[in-house]
Amino acid sequence: MALLEVRNLKTTFKTEDGIVAAVNGLSFSIDPGSTLGIVGESGSGKSVTSLSIMRLLASNGRIESGEVLFKGEDLLEKSEAEMRKIRGRDIAMIFQDPMTSLNPVLTVGEQIAEATRLHLGLNKREATAKAIDMLRLVRIPAAEKRLNDYPHQFSGGMRQRVMIAMALSCDPAVLIADEPTTALDVTIQAQIIELMNEMQARLGSAIILITHDLGVVAETCRNVLVMYGGNMVEYGTAMQIFDAPKMPYTMGLLESLPRLDQAGSRLVPIEGQPPNLLRMPPGCAFEPRCRYRMPICKEPVSLYDFGGAHLARCFLYDQRTEGERTLPVESAPILPGTAVAPPQEARP
C-alpha cells in the first residue's frame, strides 16, 4: 500500500475575478522512503497540492473533492484537532523562505522543542536534549550554544538547516519540502541538498520535493511528477522523464533550459504565456502553446500508460490521432480508470 495517496484532488480559490481551480483532479501516490519531485512553473498548482495535503489552505481556498489517504485514512475527513496531531508528527513540511516560517521571537531551541514536547510527549529536559541532537544532525556548529539564538542570528542556509532539524525532529513518515533551496545561493543549495539526501538515507522519510528547478530534481528524485495548469501532465522515473519525455510540455521545458555542461546553441523556447487559471481551456491546458496540437486537443484528455509507471496526458498517444499527429510516436493505451468523458456542459 502506498504511504500517501492523493486521489482526484480538486482545490479552488475564491478570488475577486471568480473561482479558480488551482488543482483540478490530481492523483498520485508515494511509497515509504521514496522521493517524488513535483515540478511546475508558477500557477501550476504544485504548492497548493502540498498545502491541500496538510490542510493549510488560506481562508479563501477550499478542497472541493478528492481524497488524501495517509496510511489508508482520508486526511480530508479528519477534524482540525486530529490534523494538528498529524502535522509535524506524521507529515512535516519545510518552506522556501525559512525567515518567514520560523517564529522570530522564539529561540530555535524553543521552536524545535515545542514540536517534540507536543507530539512525542517529551519533558523540557528531554526536549532540549533532542533539539541539540537534531541541530548536530543537521551539522550546525556549536549546537548547544546556537540553541539559544534567535532565527535572525542565523544565515539563510543555517536557517534552512534549523527548519530541516525541526521538521525531522518527530521522525515524520513524509517530509514535504516546498522549494527548500530556491532562496539560497548555489554553494549553499548544494549543502542543503546533500543534507536532505543524507537525512533521508538515515531516517527513511518519504520526501515530496516541490520545485521549479529541473536540475535539483535530477539530482535528488527517483520519481517525477510534472504539473501544468493545475494537473499532472506527466509522471515517471527521473530517467524516463529526462531521457524520454512524452508530453510536449516536458520536452519543451528540457529543450528551453540552458545547460551548464553544453555551450550555447540557440535555445528553443516554449512560445506563448502560461495559462490563465481563470480562463482554462476545456481540453489540454498546454494546447494553446503546443507545437504538435491537433483539433482533438480541445477536448478533455486522459492519461496514457507507457508501462513502467510512465504516464502522460496527451492526445499524441491516442489511437484516434494516428494519421494526424505531427510527431512520429507510437500509440499507448489509456490508463484504466482515467478515461475522461466527452466535454460536458459547464456548470452554472
Stretch that binds another protein, among 64-72, 107-115, 189-197, 307-315 (CB under 8 A): 189-197
Q: Which residue type occupies 268?
A: V
Rounded distance between C-alpha atoms, residue 236 and residue 140, angstroms:
36
Rounded distance between C-alpha atoms, residue 175 and residue 187, angstroms:
23
Rounded distance between C-alpha atoms, residue 348 and residue 346, angstroms:
6
In the complex with another protein, the residue whose CB is nearer, 88 or 252, is 252
In the complex with another protein, the residue whose CB is nearer, 65 or 256, is 256
Could you tell me which of 251, 262, 257 has the C-alpha nearest to residue 289?
251
In the complex with another protein, the residue whose CB is nearer, 215 or 308, is 215
Given a contact cutoff of 8 angstroms between Cβ atoms, the answer to whether 290 and 214 are in contact is: no
Establish if 155 lies at the interface with another protein (CB under 8 A).
Answer: yes
175 burial level (CB within 10 Å; 0-12, 13-18, 19+): buried
Establish if 256 lies at the interface with another protein (CB under 8 A).
Answer: yes
Given a contact cutoff of 8 angstroms between Cβ atoms, the answer to whether 285 and 226 are in contact is: no
In the complex with another protein, the residue whose CB is nearer, 75 or 233, is 233
In the complex with another protein, the residue whose CB is nearer, 107 or 182, is 182
Contacts with another protein, 268-287, as mask; x by CB under 8 A:
xxxx-xx-------------
Rounded distance between C-alpha atoms, residue 93 and residue 47, angstroms:
11
Q: Which residue type occupies 97?
A: D
| Of 158, 277, 303, 335, the one binding another protein by CB under 8 A | 158
Contacts with another protein, 26-45, as mask; x by CB under 8 A:
---------------xx---
The 10 Å Cβ neighbour count of residue 76 is: 16
Establish if 133 lies at the interface with another protein (CB under 8 A).
Answer: no
Q: Which residue type occupies 158?
A: M
Could you tell me which of 143, 79, 147, 81 has the C-alpha nearest to residue 118?
81
In the complex with another protein, the residue whose CB is nearer, 116 or 181, is 181
| Of 186, 201, 341, 346, the one binding another protein by CB under 8 A | 186
Establish if 187 lies at the interface with another protein (CB under 8 A).
Answer: yes
Establish if 243 lies at the interface with another protein (CB under 8 A).
Answer: yes
Given a contact cutoff of 8 angstroms between Cβ atoms, the answer to whether 67 and 51 are in contact is: no
Q: Measured from the CB of residue 255, what is the shortest distance to another protein in angstroms?
A: 8
Establish if 140 lies at the interface with another protein (CB under 8 A).
Answer: no
Pairing, β 223-228 against β 231-237: antiparallel
Measured CA distances, 289 to 23, 62, 267, 300 (Å): 20, 29, 16, 16
Q: Which residues, 193 to 232, sit near another protein by CB under 8 A? A: 193-194, 212-219
Contacts with another protein, 96-115, as mask; x by CB under 8 A:
--------------------
Binding site residues, another protein, CB under 8 A: 41-42, 155, 157-158, 185-191, 193-194, 212-219, 238-239, 242-243, 252-254, 256-261, 263-264, 266-271, 273-274
